[in-house]
Structure formats: structure tokens, C-alpha cells
Amino acid sequence: MQRIGVFVCWCGSNIAGTVDVEKVSEALKNEPGVVFSTNYQYMCSQAGQDIIKDAIAEHKLTGIVVCSCSPRMHEATFRKTAAAAGLNSYMVEIANIREQCSWVHKDMQSGTEKAIILGKAAVAKVNLNAPLTPGESPVTKRALVIGGGIAGIQTALDIAEAGFPVDIVEKKPTIGGKMAQLDKTFPTLDCAACILTPKMVDVAQNDKIRIFSYSEVEEIGGFVGNFTVKIKKKARYVKEDVCTGCGICTEKCPQKKVPNEFNMGMDNRRAVYIPFAQAVPKVATIDPNYCTMLKTGKCGVCAKVCTAGAIDYTQKDEIIEEKYGAIVAATGFNPISMDKFDEFAYNQSKDVITSLEFERLTNAAGPTAGKLLRPSDGKHPHTIVFVQCVGSRCDACAEKGKEYCSKICCMYTAKHAMLTRDKYPDTDVYVFYIDVRTPGKAFDEFYRRAVEEYGVHYIKGMVGKVSPEGDKLMVRASDLLANKQLNIAADLVVLAAAIEPDKSARPLATMLTASMDTNDFFTEAHPKLRPVESPTAGVFLSGTCQGPKDIPETVSQASAAAAKVIGLLAKDKLMGNPCVAQSNELMCNGCSSCERVCPYGAITYADKEFRMPDRTVAIRRVAMVNEAVCQGCGACTVACPSGAMDLKGFATSQIIAEVDAICK
Amino acid sequence: MSKEMENLKSEIIRSSGVNPKKCMRCGKCTGTCPAFDEMEYHPHQFVYMVESGDIEPLLNSKSLYKCLTCFACVDRCPRGVEPAKLVEAVRLSVIRKQGANHLKADDIPALLDDEMPQQAIVSALRKYSK
């Protein structure tokens, strides 16, 4: 028979305001097994915890029930309290009489009644609790960062700085991500390449960091501390360790008509290419969709001109298997497609471009060598219209666009407008906005400078239609403050397209069993208090894969994710969760139902010898649970037809006892 | 808001199926409206004025009959507010009291085709009857 102590918390007036705590502790005194019951203003305070410790010693308690807030809040606190007093942590049960009781009830009588019932259920469960000891598992001291943009780069550098090896997997031929495509960065206007490329070089030179470029994650198995990952290194038909990055092949390749994705398709590259001058690794890649040699077997120019002998047309995709203790998702974003926004004529006119295309048009390494020229005729545009919120802040039911604010567009548009006026003062620049959102250090000052010092015309209103007429773009828009409709003959229209998570994020989330929101952004374990961790243990989030972010925020989050990874890798052993499934071999009939439903692959089968009642020995196939892999979800306990599977700490008998106590 | 306006507002909202609270005041409807110059009150004003219960000026405005029912504002509204439906509902609240339709109901079947929005027919039936 257990000796149970009950501790009812007032939580100030949070609980005591709607629940008669005195009545609750009095009522629970008479429950079977209860030898002590009390209440206190704040059980989680030091004084409250001392009450629990003293009671455990004085009344020789073998189990305790704390009637307080959600176990998500303070279960860990009270388990530590019990352990400090020499009681097994798993002999503690929480009855949630705050979130599930006092906060949802208005009437004291019904609140009190429900609190007593919840307390009774917890007491009934503790009566059947048994002490549990968590198992230990080793930690592989290596991290995997998926995505090599500024988020992945910063996370990898910080983890390596702490002395742990890191691998970066990047699907493109070079790391650098979106930031490498940008011209200047707000609000300080330093050049993106000038601050990014030194970091890329740091990554390349760091002996703790390996870069798997032009590679993708194929398969992820295992669990926190012990992930096994298969990485596909796609064939680039160039020997990475031999290529010197001299670029002669990229000049001699006769296939010149390949849209250059780095310049947003605004110019062409060759079939063999290095994305940009500062690429890391600086190694050529042959695009198999365009290479004449790979398609027809006739060409071979690059192999002839390569003095290093790095070209290898027979290269095959390679699968690398590696073990990791922690995984960081840093898969980034893309601007959404403008195909559904016919009213802006994006697909009709070359002179309607997205903001990322505008970045390339103003970038010294871009298709126009930094001169702002119209894509259609190469002329300098004299009237430019910027349209904000294209596809952002849309209705949830709308077929096109996203419901969220993309967060970065207000600032980069202010930057584009300001830089245009600075370089080309003869240009009229209009920005159509719904709201200007500039929360951030020195952000609003930046926007005001665009208006006050650089004379950018900010107009509250929205562009309704863009129609190409001759070499002009007729822009029809509203000016809400003047209650007017404007018709502007523009030379260039720039759309601030909404951003969305990269398409690779969803399949990755499936492999990681990490959760996502309806927009395919990774969900954090807690929106405020655990913003860089996924709810899946050992998986961390860095950058825009978690939500729209600018560069300063991305870098902060990337470092925060690294700190969490370092905290994990610094441990030699991880304490497991002892509330895992166990199979009663005497009852198991080897049907495999549990193995089929287990989402973690924690169940295997083995043939075991059993001594039968007639003293013969029979061999039976029985289920075995890998306790380190089991997450304690309980799916197997429901699937098991013979009742052999049970969950430690949440045994069927305990749950039935709770239900009985509630229904009594 | 007077009781009478309160009732009229809820009637307009009910019959149009439009929720003016969804409007984020971007003005894309007005930026896109081909009848802008003809209208005293523009699509975004219809939405705002109905929501704030300032409906009296709309009832007496010629704007009601200048809306082409082209549905450009409905198509382009990022928030799915559907201003043209609201204009139509205000228009109907006036016309229903006046009677006398522009078209006869019997004329309608001959005018129907698959491309035409049903509401355009209803508009045609009523808006020129003044």
C-alpha cells in the first residue's frame, strides 16, 4: 500500500479564485492511500517545495500528487523536488487543476468539484505507480546542418568553434544561399558579398566543418544523440578534389543557352558552370540537363581544356552514411511564383520583375554589371513602381498568396528605392504600400530617410493593374489618402513577392518526424521559450525555415540553434525517458501489429525459448522494444491484440484506475 | 448608429455574404476599378462606409448605378472581401423599394451563357430600372 501525500496549489488567485483549495485538500484526505494532504499559495516556490520535502520525510511518503498547473509547466520541478527528498521522480503525479479546471470555469462550485475529481484520478494512478529509472544512451559528437545559406553557415561556424565536427549539406553547387544573391543589406547598406564571403571562406577552411555541396539528405533514422543519415552526393561530373576552379571549362563550353539561376534567369550560363566567383567550394559542376556530352556522347570540350583532368563523365551519385548527435534544419525560403498574379503582367512583360531579380539587376556581379537597365531593351528606366505585399497578407481562403506578412519586404523595398534615387537622381520612384512595417533597430529611421532625404514617393494604396502599352507599363493604382486613382506610365515595375519555405522542407520534416505549420514553416517546441528547437528531440531550427526573417534575425537564431546543439553534444550520455513500451513475452503472440504501427522503428522481433508447462521447450517469436528509440507514444499498446504491450508509467491498469476514479 | 441603419447594415451584410471586417484597407479594389472616374464613392469606400454604418450617403449616390459589375475588385482583392457584391447589396436595398425592373424575367434565358456570372444578370435586371 502506498503512502501518498497530496499538495494543492493556489497559484495565487489563478486556481484559488475559482477553486476552493481548502475543500479540495480536505476531500482528497480520505482517498485510499492518502496519509497527508495540504494546500499552499505557491507550491512551485522554494517554500512550497520545502513543504513537499518535509512531508516526504515526516510521513514516509511513497508517492505524491501535486494539484497545480499543467505538467508541461512544473512536472519537472516537482520531480526534482521529490528526487531531492529521496523519492523516485516517477512517483510524482500532477493533477492539472489550472489550465484544465480553474481557467476554464467561472463558477466556484463546479470548479471545486472538478478539481476534486482530477485529484482523485491522480491519487488512483499513484497507487499503481512503480519507481522507474531512465536508461542512458551515448551521444555521437557530430552535428548535421541541412542548408548552407547564412543560417546554416552561422550555425556550423558556431558549433565548430565549440570544438565539435559539423557537416553542411547543401543542395546547390555552392553554399551562400539567398544572401549571396543580394546586393546591399539594410539598414547599414553594407554589401552582402563583402560580409558573407569571408564567412563562406571560414567554413571552407575550418577543419571541423565538411561541406557536402550539390548533395541532399536521403534518409534519416535513429533518435536524439544517435541519428543515422544517408546523404546523396549528386554526380557533378567533376572530381571535386582535382578541380582547381580555374573556370576555363566554363568559358569554353559550347552550350551557352542555359538560364542562369543565380541571376534569376536574366542571363545565360554554360552547361558546365561555377555559380559565382566566390563560390565555396570553387568547383565546376556539369548540368546534366544541358550537357551535350552527357546527352548525346558527342562533345567533350571541357575534358579537353581541363588541364587538371578533373572532368569525369562517368561519375555516379554517391550515398554517404554518417552518424550525428544533432540535426539542424536551415532550409531557407524562396519568393513565391507570380504565375497566379496576372493583374501585374509578370508573365507578359520582361520589365515586371520581382525584388530578388531587382537585386541581381543592381548587383555589380549581376547580368548588367550593376547598371540598372530594363531587361526588355537595356534602357535606363526613368519611372519605377514598387508594389508591396504581392501575395503576402492574403485571405486564408484565397487561392493565391500567403496569409502571413513576409516581414522583409518593407525594408528591402525602402533600400531599393533609396539606392535607385541615390545612383540615378533623374528617376522617379513610387512605392505603393498598405502599411509600412519597420520594427527593428534603425529600421524606421532608414525608411524615413528614403522618404525625406531621397524623395521616394510613398503612396498608401495598392496597384490594381499593370498593362504593357508600347514600351511603357501602364500602372493603375489607388492613392487612398487623396481618394484618387492614379495612372502612372512606368518603365519598370518591381513586385515585392511573398516568401515561402523551400520546397525541400516538407519531405525533410517527414524524414525528421518534425512538425510543420499549415504554411510549411517548421514548428518550434515553444513559440516563446523554445524558439530554436523542434518538438522532436535533437532537431533544431535555424533561419527562415521557421518563419520569415531578415538577416540579423536569421544570424541570431542560427547562433541560438548552435548553442542548443553544443549543449546537447557536450553531454556524454543522454538520460532517456523511462516511460517507454515494454512487451510481456509470456503474452506476446508475435503478430507484428505493434511493429507495423511504431512510428520510430523501435520494435523488433526475436525467437526465444520458453519452458512449457509439460517441461518441454518451445521456440516462440516475441516482440522486443529498443528503449532508447521508443518515444513512449503508446501506439503499440493500443494495437496489441493480446494485451502484451504496456507503457511504463502509463500502464493500461493505471489509466483504467484514473477513469474509474473520475466516473465513481 | 441608429437602429434603422443597424438593421440596414446587417441586411446588406446578410444578403451580400460579404464580411467588411476582413478588409485590410489596401485599396487594390479602387486601384483596379475601371469605373473610378464615374463614381463618387469608390469600392474601398463602400466597404468602409458599410462597416462603419455610414450607409445613408451611399443610398443617395449615383455611384450605385455606375458600378459596371465587372468583378475586377472581387477577383483581385487579396483578402477575399468581394466589394462588388457589397455595392450590389446596397443597390438592391434601394431598388427593392422602388420596383420596376429593366428587364423582364422572360428575357433572361436568351441572355444566359456559361461565362457570365449569375450576379451580372441580376445586376442587369435591376440597376437600370431607375
**pLDDT tens digits, one per residue of A19-63:** 999 999 999 999 999 999 999 999 999 999 999 999 999 999 999
Judging contacts by C-beta atoms under 8 Å, the chain A residues touching residue B68 are: none
CB contact under 8 A, A485 and B30: yes
pLDDT digits (tens, 9 = 90+) for A647-664: 999 999 999 999 999 998
Q: What is the CA A129 to chain-centroid distance, rounded? A: 37
Tell me: pLDDT of B101 over 70. no
Judging contacts by C-beta atoms under 8 Å, the chain B residues touching residue A490 are: none
Alpha-carbon dihedral sign for residues A618, A621, A626, A627:
negative
Low-confidence stretches of chain A (pLDDT < 70) are 398
Cβ-Cβ contacts under 8 Å for A437 (sequence gap 6 or more): A405, A407, A410
- Cβ(A600)–Cβ(A631) under 8 Å? yes
Return the pLDDT at A468: 97
pLDDT digits (tens, 9 = 90+) for B78-92: 999 999 999 999 988
Task: Give yes or no for A343 touching B (CB within 8 A).
Answer: yes
Tell me: pLDDT of B98 over 80. no
Q: Does domain A4-126 have CATH number 1.10.10?
A: no
Question: What's the CA gap between A557 and A560, in Å, rounded?
Answer: 5
Query: B79: nearest CA in chain A?
Result: A395
A143-330+538-569 and A333-500 in the same fold: yes
Question: What's the CA gap between A523 and A501, in Å, rounded?
Answer: 12
Residue to mutate among B32, B44, B48, with most A CBs inside 10 A, is: B32
Tell me: cis bond preceding B78? Omega within 30 of 0 counts: no
Task: Give yes or no for A94 touching B (CB within 8 A).
Answer: no
| Å between A354 CA and nearest CA of chain B | 18
- Cβ(A334)–Cβ(A500) under 8 Å? yes
Return the pLDDT at A501: 98
Question: By three-state DSSP, how is residue A415 classified?
Answer: helix
CB contact under 8 A, A464 and B30: yes
CB contact under 8 A, B78 and A398: yes
Tell me: pLDDT of B130 over 50. no
pLDDT digits (tens, 9 = 90+) for A163-189: 999 999 999 999 999 999 999 999 999
| Å between B76 CA and nearest CA of chain A | 7
Q: Which pairing describes strands A258-259 and A268-269: parallel, antiparallel, or unpaired?
A: antiparallel
Return the pLDDT at B125: 67
| Å between B53 CA and nearest CA of chain A | 19
CB contact under 8 A, A434 and B31: no
Write the DSSP symbol of residue A99: I
Return the pLDDT at B102: 60
Return the pLDDT at B126: 61
Residue A223, beta-bridge partner list: A226
| Å between A345 CA and nearest CA of chain B | 13
CA-angle at A628, arms to A627 and A631, nearest 5°: 80
Task: Give yes or no for A465 touching B (CB within 8 A).
Answer: yes
| Å between A528 CA and nearest CA of chain B | 27
CB contact under 8 A, B44 and A397: no
CB-facing half-sphere around the CA of A42: CA atoms within 13 A? 5
Domain ranges of chain B: 3-127
Judging contacts by C-beta atoms under 8 Å, the chain B residues touching residue A461 are: 26-27, 30-31
Domain ranges of chain A: 4-126, 143-330+538-569, 333-500, 581-648
CB contact under 8 A, B80 and A476: no
A333-500: CATH topology is: FAD/NAD(P)-binding domain (3.50.50)
Number of neighbouring beta carbons within 10 Å of residue A156: 33
pLDDT digits (tens, 9 = 90+) for A134-147: 888 899 999 999 99
Q: Does domain A581-648 have CATH number 3.30.70.3270?
A: yes
Nearest CB among B22, B31, B72 relative to A478 is that of: B31
CA-angle at A379, arms to A377 and A385, nearest 5°: 100
Instruction: Specify the CATH number of the domain B3-127.
Output: 1.10.1060
Cell numbers 547598406 label which residue?
A189
CB contact under 8 A, A478 and B72: no
| Burial category of A215 from C-beta neighbours within 10 Å (exposed 0-12, middle 13-18, buried 19 and up) | buried
Number of neighbouring beta carbons within 10 Å of residue A517: 13
Question: What's the CA gap between B52 and B58, in Å, rounded?
Answer: 12
DSSP A417-474: HHHHHHH-TT-EEEEEES-----STTHHHHHHHHHHTT--EEEES-EEEEEEETTEEE
Cell numbers 512531508 label which residue?
A55
Q: How many residues does chain B have?
A: 130
Judging contacts by C-beta atoms under 8 Å, the chain B residues touching residue A343 are: 32, 75-76
| Å between A393 CA and nearest CA of chain B | 7
One-letter amino acid of A24: V
Write the DSSP symbol of residue A431: E
Give the 3-state secondary structure percentages of chain B, helix then strand then coil, rounded to 5.
60, 0, 40
C-alpha cell at A555: 544570424
A143-330+538-569: CATH topology is: FAD/NAD(P)-binding domain (3.50.50)
Return the pLDDT at B99: 57
CB contact under 8 A, A462 and B28: yes
Q: How many residues does chain A have?
A: 664
